[in-house]
């Protein structure tokens, strides 16, 4: 007996959990949750506050690739299924009429060839745009090895696109796949995406993101941060995402199954440290070269990267809270852009004598207080 659309969506949505390179949530309170009649909906933080809902799924979980870290690789014994472009588009619009969605994130295993897969992904977006006249958010995954023509078609249809970089460099990448070529299938398409979406170009409105699979190979955090610097400053991508590799998902011979003795909790802590470094680079004015690593090239699991930097630069502290500039305050552990904005606004009215005045209490106040002077 064949599966209907909703049954296939149950399978494909669950399998899409391995792909984070979109606007879908990654915080502990923002995980995927079940809708009234399915489990395909993800809460997405909104700029105006609160959350909206996005449909996130694969087009197919069948895959011709051999990515050794991936539980959906060609050799694994999982229940395979696929949705047609018409099925996905029709279901999305039916659900859109019942309950407003913020948009669609669509990825897929490789069906035959990269361009054959891109043809199906692009077909979904084309049906939504031209048949249903949908003008909302569509995020399309770019398949490794896709041709420039296929990528450009995706850019013409999507609000955002992503292609996973997977690993920091060819040496690590080739440990994870025998059939993909890092330069040809990853780096060249990433550069093409960047060129097509650069300011002044035809697709400048389209946002680009990527994702690292952290710990599948034997890379260290310093190597990842070096690539992050290039992705943000040379390619000008919108966001970088990180997915901690968990043992048991991939082949026994990959480094992530052999080398690391980190517990599952520590692996997620490592992922979290990379997200913290990402925020320091995007929102706090830190350069890649300022990151503090241990002798093994990794971030400390016991201290966040900002606190490690502060403890390594005692000459920078203490910071005088009532007169320090915004960029200086952002270097203080425990203070973020929101709290710094409150501090600057409050001190225009009065001299600050504690952090409670601006609503900073508890552990954050204790952490920041170690680096501040209130005189």
If you write DSSP's letter for every residue of 95-126 in order, what string do you get? HHHHS---EEEEE----SSHHHHHHHHHHHHH
- In whole angstroms, give the CA distance from residue 153 to residue 275: 31
- In whole angstroms, give the CA distance from residue 354 to residue 322: 10
The per-residue pLDDT for range 131-150, each reduced to its tens digit, is: 999 999 999 999 999 999 99
- In whole angstroms, give the CA distance from residue 224 to residue 317: 29
Residues 6+ positions from 267 with CB-CB distance below 8 Å: 214, 215, 244, 245, 246, 260
Q: Is the dihedral of CA 151, 155, 158, 161 positive or negative?
A: positive
**Residue among 74, 71, 90 nearest 9 (CA):** 90
Question: In terms of CATH, what superfamily is 5-304?
Answer: Aldolase class I (3.20.20.70)
- In whole angstroms, give the CA distance from residue 302 to residue 286: 20
Residues of the chain with CATH 3.20.20.70: 5-304
- In whole angstroms, give the CA distance from residue 158 to residue 203: 10
Kind plus residue range of the DSSP H or E element containing 173: helix 170-174
**Residue among 328, 320, 284 nearest 304 (CA):** 284
- In whole angstroms, give the CA distance from residue 361 to residue 370: 13
- In whole angstroms, give the CA distance from residue 171 to residue 227: 13
- In whole angstroms, give the CA distance from residue 221 to residue 276: 12
Q: What are phi and psi of 297, to 5 degrees?
A: 80, 10
The architecture that CATH gives domain 313-373 is Orthogonal Bundle (1.10)
Instruction: Please list the pLDDT of the chain residue by residue as tens digits (375 residues).
Output: 578 888 888 888 877 776 655 544 444 433 333 343 445 676 665 555 566 788 889 999 999 999 999 988 888 888 889 999 999 999 999 988 887 788 999 999 999 999 999 999 999 999 999 999 999 999 999 999 999 999 999 999 999 999 999 999 999 999 999 999 999 999 999 999 999 999 999 999 999 999 999 999 999 999 999 999 999 999 999 999 999 998 888 888 898 887 656 788 899 999 999 999 999 999 999 999 999 999 999 999 999 999 999 999 999 999 999 999 999 999 999 999 999 999 999 999 999 999 999 999 999 999 999 999 998
- In whole angstroms, give the CA distance from residue 334 to residue 329: 10
Residues of the chain with CATH 1.10.150: 313-373
Specify the DSSP class assigned to residue 320.
Answer: E
- Looking at residue 28, its pLDDT comes to 41
- Looking at residue 248, its pLDDT comes to 85
* pTM score: 0.90
- Looking at residue 46, its pLDDT comes to 57
Phi-psi region of 362 (alpha: psi -120 to 50; beta: other; left: phi over 0): left
- Looking at residue 298, its pLDDT comes to 96
CB 92 within 8 A of CB 128: yes
If you write DSSP's letter for every residue of 196-231 in order, what string do you get? HTSTTSTTTTSEEEEEEEETSSS--HHHHHHHHHHH
- In whole angstroms, give the CA distance from residue 294 to residue 270: 13
- Looking at residue 262, its pLDDT comes to 79
- In whole angstroms, give the CA distance from residue 192 to residue 154: 12
Report CA-CA distances (Å) from 200 to 149, 196, 204, 237, 308: 20, 9, 6, 15, 39
């Amino acid at each position: 007996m064949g599966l209907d659309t909703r049954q296939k969506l149950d399978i494909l949505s669950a399998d899409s959990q391995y792909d984070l390179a979109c606007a879908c949530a990654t915080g502990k309170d923002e995980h995927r949750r079940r809708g009234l009649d399915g489990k395909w909906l993800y809460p997405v933080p909104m700029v105006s506050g609160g959350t909206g809902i996005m449909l996130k799924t694969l087009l197919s979980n069948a895959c011709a690739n051999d990515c050794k870290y991936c539980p959906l690789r060609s050799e694994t014994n999982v229940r395979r299924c696929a949705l047609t472009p018409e099925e996905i588009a029709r279901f999305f619009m039916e659900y859109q009429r019942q309950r407003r969605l913020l948009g669609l994130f669509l990825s897929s295993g490789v069906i035959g060839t990269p361009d054959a897969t891109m043809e199906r992904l692009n077909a979904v977006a084309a049906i939504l745009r031209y048949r249903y006249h949908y003008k909302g958010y569509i995020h399309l995954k770019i398949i490794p090895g896709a041709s420039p023509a296929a990528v450009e078609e995706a850019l013409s249809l999507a609000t955002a696109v992503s292609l996973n970089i997977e690993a920091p460099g060819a040496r690590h990448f080739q440990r994870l796949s025998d059939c993909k070529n890092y330069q040809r299938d990853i780096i060249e398409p990433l550069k093409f995406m960047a060129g097509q979406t650069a300011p002044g170009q035809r697709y400048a409105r389209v946002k680009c993101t990527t994702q690292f699979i952290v710990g599948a190979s034997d890379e260290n955090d310093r190597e990842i941060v070096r690539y992050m610097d290039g992705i943000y400053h040379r390619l000008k991508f919108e966001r970088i995402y990180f997915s901690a590799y968990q043992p048991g998902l991939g082949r026994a011979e990959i480094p992530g199954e052999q080398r690391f003795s980190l517990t599952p909790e520590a692996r997620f802590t490592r992922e979290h440290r990379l997200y913290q470094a990402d925020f320091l680079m995007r929102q706090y004015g830190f350069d890649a070269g300022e990151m503090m690593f241990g002798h093994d090239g990794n971030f400390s699991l016991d201290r966040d990267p900002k606190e490690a930097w502060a403890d390594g630069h005692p000459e920078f502290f203490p910071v005088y809270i009532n007169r320090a500039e915004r960029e200086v305050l952002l270097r203080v552990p425990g203070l973020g852009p929101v709290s710094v904005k409150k501090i600057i606004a409050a001190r225009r009215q009065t001299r600050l004598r504690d952090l409670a005045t601006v609503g900073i209490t508890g552990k954050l106040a204790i952490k920041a207080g170690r680096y501040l002077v209130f005189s």
